[in-house]
């Protein structure tokens, strides 16, 4: 046993719903103070995992300890150490932000003076002091998520669960929340388990990432290590004439293994890295294949995801709603 306070340990954790294996035997360990990003598309099993780790849903197999306590048999001990902002967080539109916090504080057994101080402190920390006495019904999405976060922090948990805390937020609100979450980890040593559908979020915020797809972990490591594993950049080329696609793919195939690209494109992972580009261009020119687009991509977490699952985890530009498995 180490002397450091334990974080989270998960061994072969499973949850089935009838015949569906929503979480299909996942294992990982999270160090105290670490921000762990649990990245995957809709339906991957992220929320089911969070519900099990927060003791709200019993596992159907495997085991998990959170803060050193077993989620199945030591629920109250687990709950004392954790805070959670879940996807279906219920805020009352008629209550103000401050009223929510005071209520939560009294549920946690804080006396009146402590309740008021703690509420004011948390409102300040998440940037809601000015809006504190307005009804939550008038809050923006970003303000609501920050209030969720403040509510999860009332009893000073050492481990924090955030289930898609920034889904649907605009980029500025998202960045504000990232800053708050990383400050919690860096300055207060809070362990953070965060689920997300956003590659960029996992990349920027998480110390370590597990990619989950269809209930299974398909990759795990630091963002840099995962990208390094993929290593070489990919080249995506769309021919000017659709009928040239197969010929184009054959030429590109001389320079690396085919990989999935956007519709209409031929794509390869360049064997020689970006150094071979000039030669690719010369070969295409010699074959008389006219091009519409020619894009070189440094490895991203999306490439890692693609390499591990055969699908893309693509983010739509408008509302950030991701689309999985769009690769043709």
Residues engaged in binding ligand ADP (CB under 6 A): 17, 20, 22, 40, 42-48
Contact (Cβ atoms closer than 8 angstroms) between residue 21 and residue 215: yes
Nearer to ligand ADP, 46 or 100 (CB): 46
CB of 133 to Mg ion, least distance (A): 32
- CA distance readout (Å), 52 to 69, 202, 210, 223, 306: 13, 21, 17, 25, 27
Q: Supply the minimum distance, in Å, between the C-beta of residue 284 and ligand ADP.
A: 41
**CB-nearer residue toward ligand ADP: 22 or 105:** 22
d(CA 294, CA 242): 14
- Cα–Cα distance between 126 and 176 in angstroms, integer? 9
As given in the structure block, the two tokens for residue 247 are 């010929």
268-276-298 Cα angle (round to 5): 55
| 3-state SS, residue 78 | helix
Q: Which is nearer to ligand ADP, 17 or 253 (CB)?
A: 17
Q: How far is the CB of 38 from Mg ion (least distance, A)?
A: 10
Tokens 């299974």 locate to 216
Q: Which listed option, Mg ion, ligand ADP, none, makes contact with residue 40 (CB within 5 to 8 Å by class)?
A: ligand ADP
Task: Return the residues of window 38-67 that contact Mg ion according to CB under 5 A.
Answer: 46-47
Q: Which is nearer to Mg ion, 160 or 284 (CB)?
A: 160
Contacts of 107 (CB under 8 A, 6+ apart): none
**Residue with the CB atom nearest Mg ion in the bound state:** 47
What tokens appear for 9 in the block? 């340990």
- Of residues 37 and 45, the one with the C-beta less far from ligand ADP: 45
From the list Mg ion, ligand ADP, none, pick the one residue 43 interacts with, judged by a Cβ distance below 5 to 8 Å according to partner type. Answer: ligand ADP
- Residue 44 interface partner, choices ligand ADP, Mg ion, none, CB cut-off 5-8 Å depending on type: ligand ADP
Name the residues that contact Mg ion, by CB under 5 A: 46-47
């Amino acid at each position: 046993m180490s002397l450091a306070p334990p974080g989270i340990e998960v061994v072969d954790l499973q949850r089935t719903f009838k015949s569906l294996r929503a979480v299909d035997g996942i294992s990982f360990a999270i160090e105290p103070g670490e921000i762990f990003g649990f990245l995957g598309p809709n339906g991957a099993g992220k929320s089911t995992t969070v519900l099990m780790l927060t003791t709200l849903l019993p596992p159907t197999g495997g085991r998990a300890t959170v803060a050193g306590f077993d989620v199945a048999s030591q629920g109250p001990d687990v709950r004392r150490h954790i805070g959670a902002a879940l996807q279906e967080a219920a805020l009352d539109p008629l209550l103000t932000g401050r009223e929510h916090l005071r209520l939560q504080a009294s549920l946690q057994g804080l006396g009146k003076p402590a309740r008021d101080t703690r509420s004011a402190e948390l409102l300040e920390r998440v940037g809601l002091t000015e809006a504190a006495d307005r009804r939550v019904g008038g809050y923006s999405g970003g303000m609501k998520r920050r209030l969720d976060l403040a509510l999860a922090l009332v009893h000073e948990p050492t481990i924090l669960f955030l289930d898609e805390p920034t889904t649907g937020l605009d980029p500025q609100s998202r960045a504000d929340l990232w800053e708050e979450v990383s400050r919690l980890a860096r300055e207060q040593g809070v362990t953070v388990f965060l689920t997300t559908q956003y590659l960029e979020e996992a990349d920027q915020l998480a110390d370590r990432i597990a990619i989950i797809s269809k209930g299974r972990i398909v990759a795990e490591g630091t963002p840099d290590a995962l990208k390094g594993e993929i290593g070489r950049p990919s080249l995506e080329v769309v021919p000017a004439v659709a009928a040239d696609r197969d010929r184009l793919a054959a030429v590109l195939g001389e320079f690396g293994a085919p990989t999935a690209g956007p519709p209409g494109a031929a794509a390869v992972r360049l064997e020689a890295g970006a150094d071979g580009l000039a030669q690719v261009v010369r070969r295409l020119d010699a074959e008389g294949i006219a091009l519409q687009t020619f894009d070189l991509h440094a490895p991203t977490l999306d490439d890692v995801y693609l390499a591990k699952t055969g699908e893309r985890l693509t983010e739509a530009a408008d509302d950030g709603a991701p689309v999985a498995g769009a690769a043709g």
